[in-house]
Each structure stands twice: as structure tokens, then as C-alpha cells.
Amino acid sequence: MGGAAAGETRTVALTFPAEYGNQELAGRESSFEITVKEVKLKELPEVNEDFALDAGFDDLEELREDIRKRLLEVDEQQIQAEFRQAALDAAVAGATVAVTPELVTARAREMWERMLHSLSHRGISREAYLQLIGREEADILTEMEPEAEVALRREAVITAIVAAEGIEPSEEELLAALAPTAEREGVEAQKLLAELRKAGRLEEAREDLAARQAIDAIAAAAKPIPLEQAQAREKLWTPAKGQEASAAVAEADPAGAPARLWTPDR
């Protein structure tokens, strides 16, 4: 779009990245017709002591330290979220869950309709999206079924844990869970709770919180292991590789405890 002026229309060809979040678009070539409404130039201020003072800090070093802490918090939150998801999936892998093809098909349809609803808010209709990706709706639904089955199995395990542990969030816990949203919106958590109750969504919010607490319980029971040990476990054991795998596990546990060789049966 270099050199484009306001009011000018251009056709832009691009290839979606292979790791694009929407698998239907990942790696595909597409073209977009774009009309430039206006051209703006963003001028960034110089990062100096005056900038730090304007931002409410005593000096530039304090500003840099604040940014460093915020970035670290984001990384830690992402790691924690990934650990919770991995712990849940490990529990799902070890559970026996009966999922019928009819349930999987229905969930895939639900996921598809939810995605279309989200696209509609961006001005993209079902027909336009299908034309863009060059696919049939039936094929998309079939490809979504594995993900739908995983979602159903996760929900079944979470529901079982909620029942087994007798998880019933109290109103105080609901208020605590609503506090971050209330702070962002500048209202009292009690008001948000009252709005949920009035809209008939209080039980839905309670179920969502119970599910989060169930995942908390799973994550709390999970024991993280060093990366090297996890990589050693992922290798299939054979007699010829026994000593090599045992050495890898021993290296991952420098505390001096006797190394136990991981095999497919344990």
C-alpha cells in the first residue's frame, strides 16, 4: 500500500501464514480490494526523562523497570495458562469418556455457528467467508470434529471433577471473580452480580467459575518436571536405548535420587 492516497482503491494479494490461527485460512493465497479512507502519520515521542515524568514516573529507569515487570507478568500468565491446559489435557487423556458421533457432530456445528457469528460482527457473511476460503461447509464441519471431540471430553472431565469435589462457588467467590471486570468497567462487583441475576445468567456464571476451580484443582495436583526429563519420556523405550534414556533422566534429576527409567507401562 506504499504511496496510496486517501480515496484510492487497490487490490492487495497476500498469503496467510502457515501458523495462522484460523486453520481454514492458514497458508492460503487471497486478495483483498481496499479503499484508503485517510492517511495518518504516527509520531512517537522521544523516550527520555521528560517522557517518563509525563507518564507519572520519577525517571526513565523507573519507567523501564515498570515495563519489564509488566512484560514478565504477561509471560508468567501465559506459562501458567499453558500449564493449566496441559494438566487438563493430561487428565482427559487418562479418563474414560463416552462421546457419541452425534454429540461430536452437534458440537462441531455449534463451534462453526459461533465462528460465523463472530465473523458477522466484522461484516463477513457466511457466503463471503466460504467463497474466500474456497471450501464447502460440510468439509469444514468434518474437519472441526476432532477439535469438537476434544472439547466434549474436556467438559466431561471438568463436570466429573466438579461433582466429585463438590465444587459450589459461593457468592463471595463470585464477587471476587467479577472484581477484575468490575474494576475495568468502573463499577462495583456487587452491581455486576445483580445484573447477572436480573438477566438470568447467575447460574451460568456460577458454572463457569466452578469449571475454573476444577481446572485449578487439576493444576494444583499436577507436578511439573524438567524439560529434559519430559523430552526423555517422549522417547519410546527399547533395550538398546535403555542406558541412554536412563542417563537422560538421571541428568534431569541432579538431586541424586536413583533414576527410574520411564517405560510405556509407567
pLDDT at 261 over 90: no
Grade residue 112 by pLDDT with cuts at 50, 70 and 90. Answer: very high
pLDDT at 236 over 50: no
Residue type, 152: L
**Domain identity same for 172 and 159:** no
Residue type, 103: L
Looking at residues 5-13, what average pLDDT do you find? 82
CA pair distance 156, 144, nearest whole angstrom: 19
Query: According to DSSP H, which parts of the chain are helical?
Result: 49-54, 60-93, 101-120, 126-133, 137-165, 171-185, 189-198, 202-221, 227-233, 242-252
Residue 264's pLDDT is what? 43
Grade residue 263 by pLDDT with cuts at 50, 70 and 90. Answer: very low
197/258: higher pLDDT: 197
What domain range includes position 26?
1-41
**How many domains in the chain?**
3
**Domain identity same for 160 and 195:** no
pLDDT at 240 over 90: no
Q: Which of 166, 193, 223 is the last residue of a domain?
A: 166
Looking at residues 218-233, what average pLDDT do you find? 77
Backbone angles phi, psi at 10, to 5 degrees: -135, 155
Residue pointed to by grid coordinates 527409567:
261
Grade residue 11 by pLDDT with cuts at 50, 70 and 90. Answer: confident
Please check whether residue 71 lies inside any domain of the structure: no
**Domain identity same for 186 and 210:** yes
Please check whether residue 113 lies inside any domain of the structure: yes
- Among 224, 20, 222, which Cα is nearest to 132's? 20
pLDDT at 97 over 70: yes
**Domain identity same for 122 and 182:** no
4 is written with which cell numbers?
A: 496510496
Grade residue 146 by pLDDT with cuts at 50, 70 and 90. Answer: very high
**Domain identity same for 162 and 186:** no
Please check whether residue 5 lies inside any domain of the structure: yes
Please check whether residue 109 lies inside any domain of the structure: yes
Please check whether residue 250 lies inside any domain of the structure: no
**Domain identity same for 132 and 161:** yes
Percent of all residues in the chain with a pLDDT value above 90, rounded to a whole number: 41
Which of the residue ranges 26-40, 102-116, 202-216 would you say has the lowest mean pLDDT? 26-40
Q: Which residues of 208-241 are buried (b: 16+ CB within 10 A; e: fewer)?
A: ebbbebbbebbbeeeeeeeeebeebbeeebeeee
**Domain identity same for 101 and 155:** yes
86 is written with which cell numbers?
A: 496441559
Please check whether residue 16 lies inside any domain of the structure: yes
Residue pointed to by grid coordinates 476460503:
133
Residue 262's pLDDT is what? 44
Please check whether residue 37 lies inside any domain of the structure: yes
121 is written with which cell numbers?
A: 460482527
Grade residue 235 by pLDDT with cuts at 50, 70 and 90. Answer: low
Looking at residues 8-22, what average pLDDT do you find? 77
**Domain identity same for 161 and 105:** yes
pLDDT at 133 over 50: yes
Please check whether residue 64 lies inside any domain of the structure: no
Looking at residues 168-194, what average pLDDT do you find? 91
Residue 145's pLDDT is what? 95
CA pair distance 103, 106, nearest whole angstrom: 5
Task: Please count the CA atoms within 13 angstroms of the CA of 205 that sit on its side-chain side.
Answer: 21
**Domain identity same for 98 and 144:** yes
67/248: higher pLDDT: 67
Residue 234's pLDDT is what? 61
pTM of the model: 0.61
